[in-house]
Structure formats: structure tokens, C-alpha cells
Chain A
Amino acid sequence: MARYYFFIILMNMTLNIILNVPMVLVENRFNGSIMSILLSIPIGSLLAYLFTKGMSRFPKMDLPTILENNLPKYVYKPFLVFLSLMWIASGSFALISFSYLIKTYIMPEASLELISGLFVFVYIYGAVRQTASLLYKAEITMVIAFPVVLFIIFKAMRSDLFNYVHIVRMIHFTWELPNYSSVAAATYLFIGYINLAIFNRYIDSKKALRWFWTVPILGTGILLSSFFVPIGFFGINAIGDIILPWLMSADSLRMQFGFIERTVFLLIFFYVLMTFLFGMVTWHIGLELLKGAVQSMKKKTWGRSFLLIVGILTIIFQLQVNHREFSSIVKYWFNFRFPVEVLLVIMVYLFSLRRQNV
């Protein structure tokens, strides 16, 4: 079952363009984004390695059980609730950014609540399934969607509008000091491993470690392409005016002989697939972590109504803020998330060391 680990990681990596990672990187492009990217590859891979290594010492155990065995009750329960909310928030942010995107590109007449409502419904339906089912689904979705993403990247690189000159110009800004926001955003690409917190029940993480070297390679490729390809299209200055650089680059591509002429639709369809998957996975893990802390959540109706409340809150939150405010909130969230991730990884790794000594 080790292969599911890589599909989940791949899902997080490819989805970064929806999760506003390029936005943060582009904003800081003159203040050390490239250095941050170069720095975040070893940092992200190291965090991923440590966490996977740590979890592999707890075969078939999930995070709630590990914390329960290692921490006193009044520490681990609030911590689990907090983690669960973090997970759910990441799914909700994906939901909000994607419903903006759908409103802009596909359904301009539909109201935002309707689109988000559909997302919430699908998220909840998927999130309350069995954990193993989600893994099967993740694999099927990624096998279908990832080749299309590769195709779009390939098509973008081969396009006449894509100028390598812009990229060379961008590389002039390499020797700047890295900044914290960019590192926090860029490491978000590698975050997929963290879902092992629950999926460790089914994934044999020891086996996954054998193929771990693919993670930095994939991460480098995807991170560089998601940062540089839009720059190749729009130039280093104009890119700053664009909210979703990747969508716009894809919209400059035309499939001359296809049923669908505008590549952007292809991109959106397959990213909808992956966003649904991402939301299901994050909300599922959020719910499972919460089950570890609060016993009554194990009941079907309680878990479902919790997710429903979360979904309604997400929609309300979305209606309260506009797109610009939302983007700045996401930036804060990236900055906040990074230390939590580091804390969790170090914690699990230390526990695993202790387990070895025993």
C-alpha cells in the first residue's frame, strides 16, 4: 500500500497553483523568492523524511494513538482539536479559492454560495467514507489527472508565447536573502506527507521510505515549473498584476485540433477533480483527528453535523471577505502553518526515537 503515499504527496504538489502558492512567490519575486524556493526544497524534503521515518516506527498506528501514548490527556486532546481545525482550514481555503476561480471562469452567473455549497456537499460526502476508500480514490484520481497536468505543462513550454528570456531575467534575482513568507509558502508543496497522520493505518511507511528520493525530485520539478512557467509567459513585471498566474498562462494556450479549444478548461476540469479530492482528504483527516480527541464524534450523525457546520462557516467566511482580503488571509495562514508543521514533525520524530530506546 506504500504507493498511496506518493499519490497523496503528488496531489498536494500539483494542487499548489490553486492553493495560492505562486501568488506569494510572485509577490516576493524580487526579494528572494528563488532563494526561498531553493531553500524550501531541502527543508520540505527533510521535514517529509523525518515525519515519514518517525511514523514508520509506529506501524499501523495513527497520530491520535501516538499522542495518546506519549502525552498527558490535557495536552494531547486540545492539540488534536487544534490540528484537526488546521487540516479542515486547509481544505476550506482550497474550497474558497476554487469557487472564486469557477465563478470567474466557468459560471459567472451563479452565486458564490451555490458553488461553495456544491463543494461542501461533495467534500462531506467524500470525507465521511472509509479511510481506505479515500486512498483508492486518490490513486484513481491522480492517475487520471496527473498526465493531463503534465500535458499542459508540456504544452506551455512548447508554446510560442513562452519566452525563456524572461526566465533568464528572473534568475538575475537569485542572490537575494530568502524571506520567511516565501519559504513558508514553498514548503507547502511538500505537505502531502503530513496526511500520514491518519493514513499510516494503511500505508506501510517503511516501504514508502525506499522510494523517498522521488519526493525531492518531483517537488523541484513542480515547484520550479509552477513558478517559472507563468513568468515565461508574462514577463517579470506584468506577472505581479495577476492573481492566478497559472490559469492565465493556460488560457493563452490553444489546442488547435481538440474538441475543447481552450486549454484552460482542461486545466480547470482536472483541477476540480483534484480539489475535490484534496478537500475530502483534508476534511476526512480533520474529522478522524477530532474523533481521537472527542469520543462522541465517532457517531455518524455527530461527525456529519460537525462537517456541515464547518462547511456553513466556510461559506459565511467566504461571503464576509472579498478576494483581495482572502488572499492576504491565506498569506497569514501560510506563515502560521509552517511552525505548526515543524512542531508536529519534530514531536513525532522525538516520540519515535523514544520508542526505539524502549
Chain B
Amino acid sequence: MEELQKEINCVKEKYDNNPDFKVHRFEYFEKKIALIYMKSLCNEAQIKKDIIEPLLLCEKQGKYLLHLLSMPSCQHINASDDVEKLLLQGNALIALSGEIYSVDVRKPTNDQPLDATVEQTVQGAQKGLSEDLTMNMTLVRNRYPSKQLKIEQQTVGTLSKTRIAILYDVDYVQEDVLDEVKKKISGLKADIIQAAGQLHNYMTKEKYRIFPTMMITERPDRLALNLSQGKVVILMNGTPFGLVAPAVFFDFLSSMDDKTLPYWVTRLLILLRYVGLLITIILPSLYIAITSYNPEIVRSQLALTIAGSRAGVPYPSFFEVLFMMFAVELLVESSLRLPKTIGPTATTVGGLILGQAAQQAQLVSSIMIIITAFVAISNFTIPINAMSFAVRCARYPLIVFASFFGIVGVVAGLILLLCHLSDLRSFGKPYLKMYWGTTDKMSKVRESRKE
């Protein structure tokens, strides 16, 4: 035990200047007792309730030790344990007659489930994950009360030591994916990891990536569903988002509402999303191709209408498109980052400029205004935010292609996009590939478990 004592002294010296490092000494059972903990990490009310009050009630030291050890989070420390690490994880150390015990009295931070704000549903569950890992595990366990659910905990980040948990259903999980996830997490080289998206970035090999290859979601019901589909879920402390691997392209266009609404309503909504995806990707480049290269493609009346509305516009169409796309991106970006109170101002001013003034000043054609609005709103139909951002990026190469090669360039750009997507792999699974058969059949929980 001398080693331990030495180590504690060492820690004490190291942290003595820190105002939140607390060494509390008192005497009881005619012996010296020391209580060491980090004030900022620990719940002092719990220390009082679990450690100090029982001390006063116990008349013998043996009885008190029995009480301590009966607490599930209490452990007797051996010389090999890292005292410093335990302290930083929010344990209180009790030094009592030469022995040291640690009790987990971590103060939970933000452990209330937050409202689902990023990925809302109309009639599904309204609460998302919380910012506390333990609470998140509880949430998932409540939705997936299977004895096959396995949780593995570890930390990532050399400095941040962020706690993460890997969850999977032992029976359904795809072993190759699980192995790859574990391999990638153990091979992580990063100091600070604080968000799910950041972990995703570090876990993918490709540095220059547009499309997300892991699903980022805040919905416990989606996590539970994905667990039953044999996917691996990663939860992280300090962020209300979980990661799911593998994720394919079609997952990013599915909403949890698809499960709750009637069949034909769901089909219609899904169709709407795919049409929206197509519109938001190709409409700007199609406009360039049709106005500047091949007005004869569309029927003559339409070609004349477009030409008429562009009559006063003094520059080529690609400039017009870039100008309007730029304005919309600015509007979206500014309303994202602004404080809630000034947000409406930005949208009103921006909306006015984009909607009316630009057209009346003949800087852009009125058809372009319609296209801009179309592109912006159809971009918002994509249910998963990460994909919506990716699609925003993906349409600019197409605009470039259209400016150089016209309509053939648009088709070529689409083909290149298709090539890129079908060449992506999400943890060994093909990212874009046709799956034949209904989604219900594929995601159905099998009655007989895998052998």
C-alpha cells in the first residue's frame, strides 16, 4: 500500500493548485480518514449521502467497510490501478486505515433526453438522445430490451478521453463490420474528439470525402431499429448523436416516419424525396445547359418563355446560376449560425432580395428565382442532415460541367457522381447498389435467430 500512498501524494502535489481538487481529512473510529475527489466532476450531495452519512451511522469500522463495498460502484484499489485516471473519471477515493477504496460519484452532465430537433417526425417519438452516455445507453436499452444486446465501452482521444460505447446485437451483427469498426477505433490517432461527426471523420480512410458513410442520428428509435438490422451503433459521451455503421445511400433518404404512416402515403413521400434529390442536384446545371447551349431541347413555347425572361439579364447563364446559388447558400448558412433572436431578420432581408429585388433589377431572370427556390426547398426534403449537406456540395461540379459541355456535361457529371457513389464502401458494404425486394422484407426482424 505504500506505493499507492506515494502515488496519491504525487497526485496531490500535481493538483494542489487546482481549486477543484479536494482532499478532505477527518477522524473517525480513532483513525484518520481522507476523502479525495475532484470537486468539479463529482456530485457532492451523493458523496454526503453515500459516504459520509453512513459513516456516522456505523459504530464499527468493519460495518462501514461492508457498507462501502456493498455499493455497486465501489471497488477496492490495488496497486496496479491508475489513481489519477480514476480521479479524473469522477471517482471519490477513500483512504481508510491504509486501504484505498474508490466510489463512482460522477456528476451527470445534461442527462435529460433532448427534444429531437434535427431529425423530427410527425407522429413518432419526440425525444432524442441526451448528452450523457449512461443515459443514452439507458434510452437504447429501453427501446431494445434484448439479452443479445452487447455494450462495449472504451475511450477515444488521447487528451479528451471521450467515453464511447459500441452497441450491437450479438445474434444479428455483421461480424466483418464489427471487426472493422473496432479496428478503426483502436487505430484512431486524435487528441480531442468531441462530436459524432468528428469521430466519423477520423474513422474513414478517405481524407477528401463528400458523402457520409456512417449514419449520424439523434433518434433512439432509429438506433434500436438499426440494431435489429444487424448494424453497429456507436454512442458518445457529450453529444446527443449516435453513429451507425454500415450505412448505405438509401438509408439517408429514409425517415422514421416511413414506419408509422400508411403504405401508399409512405411510397408517395419516398418518391417525393427522390424527386427532390434529383431536382436539387441537376436543376441548376440543367438551366445552364438549356439556356446557353441547347434551347431546342425543350418544347418551343417553353424555350421562348425562358428566353423572354432572360432578355434583360446582362451576363451568361452560368454566372446567373452561381450568383443565385451563392445567395441561397449564404442565406442557409447565416440562418444556421445566427442566434435564434436575429434569425428571422436574415431570412426576411435575404428573402426579399432574392425573391423580388434581384429579378426587378434584372440581375437574374424570374425563371432563375423559381429554380433557386426549387433547389433550396427540395434540398430540405432530404431527411438526414449530413446527406443534405453532401448533396449541396455535389451540385457544384455539375454546374461546372454544364458550363463547359452543356447538356452532355450534365449527363457526364451525373455518371461521374454515380461512379463515385457506387465505388464508395461503408465498412465493406457497397454504398450505392440496387437492392431488390421490399424494404419491409429486408428490415424484418427474423423470427428464428441466426445460428
Answer yes or no: are A and B bound together in one complex.
Answer: yes
Chain B interface: which of A46-54, A88-96, A132-140?
A132-140
Partner pick for A261 among B300, B406, B415, B434, CB 8 A cutoff: B300
Complex Cα spacing A260 to B297, Å: 6
Is A107 part of the binding interface, using a Cβ–Cβ cutoff of 8 Å? yes
Contacts of A107 in B (CB 8 A): 293-294, 405-406, 408
A-facing residues in B408-451 (Cβ within 8 Å): 408-409, 411-412, 414-416, 418-419, 422-423, 430, 432-434, 436
Complex Cα spacing A140 to B408, Å: 19
A280 x B419 contact (CB < 8 A): yes
The chain A residue with its CB closest to the CB of B293 is A107
Complex Cα spacing A141 to B421, Å: 13
Is B299 part of the binding interface, using a Cβ–Cβ cutoff of 8 Å? yes
Contacts of A260 in B (CB 8 A): 297-299
B-facing residues in A116-166 (Cβ within 8 Å): 118, 121-122, 125-126, 129-130, 132-134, 136-137, 139-141, 143
Contacts of A140 in B (CB 8 A): 418, 422, 432-434
**Within the complex, what minimum Cβ distance (angstroms) separates A99 from chain B?**
9
With contacts A136-B430, A265-B297 known, is A273 near B415, CB below 8 A? yes
Complex Cα spacing A150 to B369, Å: 36
Partner pick for B423 among A110, A115, A129, A259, CB 8 A cutoff: A129
Is A283 part of the binding interface, using a Cβ–Cβ cutoff of 8 Å? no
**Within the complex, what minimum Cβ distance (angstroms) separates A150 from chain B?**
18
B299 x A261 contact (CB < 8 A): yes
A102 x B408 contact (CB < 8 A): yes
**Within the complex, what minimum Cβ distance (angstroms) separates B249 from chain A?**
11
Is B302 part of the binding interface, using a Cβ–Cβ cutoff of 8 Å? yes
Is B407 part of the binding interface, using a Cβ–Cβ cutoff of 8 Å? yes
The chain B residue with its CB closest to the CB of A141 is B418
Contacts of B423 in A (CB 8 A): 129-130, 133
Which range holds the interface residue count of chain B?
20 to 34
Complex Cα spacing A259 to B295, Å: 12
Complex Cα spacing A125 to B432, Å: 17
Contacts of A136 in B (CB 8 A): 422, 430, 432-434
B407 x A106 contact (CB < 8 A): yes
Contacts of A183 in B (CB 8 A): none
**Within the complex, what minimum Cβ distance (angstroms) separates B24 from chain A?**
62
Complex Cα spacing A92 to B409, Å: 19
The chain A residue with its CB closest to the CB of B299 is A261
Is A188 part of the binding interface, using a Cβ–Cβ cutoff of 8 Å? no
Is A269 part of the binding interface, using a Cβ–Cβ cutoff of 8 Å? yes
Complex Cα spacing A273 to B417, Å: 12
Interface string of B367-411 (1 = CB under 8 A from A): 000000000000000000000000000000000000001111101
Residue contacts A-B, CB under 8 angstroms, 11 given:
A102-B408, A106-B293, A107-B408, A110-B406, A118-B409, A122-B412, A125-B419, A133-B430, A136-B430, A137-B419, A276-B415
Q: Which 4 A-B pairs have the closest CB atoms?
A: A261-B299, A133-B423, A136-B433, A136-B422
